[in-house]
Amino acid sequence: MADDERLVIRSADVSDLGRTDGGSFHLAQRDQLGLGELSIGLSDNPPRADGVTHRHSCGEVFVVYEGRGIYTVDETEIVAGPGDMVIIPPNTWHSFRPEGDNRLRHVAVYDAGSVDIEVSTRRGEVFQL
């Protein structure tokens, strides 16, 4: 039988990369997963949270499990709800935010063992996380 502790990643063991709007973003990368070139993020976005425009060199798939969200992929807006998957190609500017007064929770799956995040500010500045 496998060692139980190798089969689960406890939320307390994954650092919260932080959000200024009261939400959270926990990212587990290759070194924690032991699965090769894969990273997984859990995102909790409170009602009325503003979307942060960003991109990364890897592809990403959002899987919505609670609430509804507005996903902006380049210039296209997509509304997605529980069970929907939103695909983000590599190097594509995108953002997401809850629709209305609901919380948005989704899983982000990246096709890379390490995720680089480049953020664009409203003033047009770009910085790396």
- What residue ranges define each of the domains in the chain, with the CATH number in brackets? 4-128 (2.60.120.10)
* pLDDT tens track for 59-92: 999 999 999 999 999 999 999 999 999 999 999 9
Q: Give the count of alpha carbons within 13 A of 35, CB side only.
A: 15
* Residue 81 neighbours by CB distance under 10 Å: 14
* pLDDT tens track for 24-59: 887 777 777 777 889 999 999 999 988 889 999 999
98 membership: H or E segment, kind and range: strand 94-98
* pLDDT tens track for 101-120: 999 999 999 999 889 989 98
Q: How far is the CA of 79 from the CAs of 12, 21, 53, 100, in angstroms?
A: 31, 21, 16, 11
Give the tokens for residue 91.
């190097």
